[in-house]
Amino acid sequence: MQKRIQILSDFLYMGIFISLLLGSNGYAQKFDQEYLKWKADQDAQDARLKGPNTATSQNYYLAKPSLVAVTGNKVSLNQANAEQLQTLSGVGLKKAEAIIAYRQKNGKFKTIEDVQQVKGIGPALFAKNKQRLGL
């Protein structure tokens, strides 16, 4: 009789264990599905709030218009965009982008002579544009 009770209690404990195991697995799956749905909704909401990301689609400094980059006939090395830098003699798109990249990496130019540290801008090009350069 006692052996029979022992076997029944073993089955009972096994049944409880299996039901707990299966029940928690079902709960975990339901939780995962609900979380994924919530995460997708949150990502969609974030995308609506942020709008299109123009910083990754184009260079911020090349696209940013500047109100004081060109004063009179001087071009500000610290504020001019690529289009404004290209108005300098001998400066095309590549050199304008190099000036902007140098400015982004090293900070603002302290003197107009510092522009000669940019690759492709030598003493001759600097001398041609010295009168038109400003900070």
Q: Residue 97 burial by CB count (10 A; 0-12/13-18/19+): exposed, middle or buried?
A: middle
Q: DSSP strand E in 8-134: where?
A: 70-71, 74-76, 133-134
pLDDT at 20: 66
Give the distance, in angstroms, between the CA of residue 19 and the centroid of all CA atoms in the same chain: 48
Cα separation of 68 and 79, whole Å?
A: 7
- The CATH number given to 58-134 is 1.10.150.320
pTM for the model stands at: 0.48
pLDDT at 23: 61
Determine contact, residues 62/82, Cβ cutoff 8 Å.
Answer: yes
> Both tokens of residue 122?
């030598």
> Does residue 71 carry a pLDDT above 70?
no
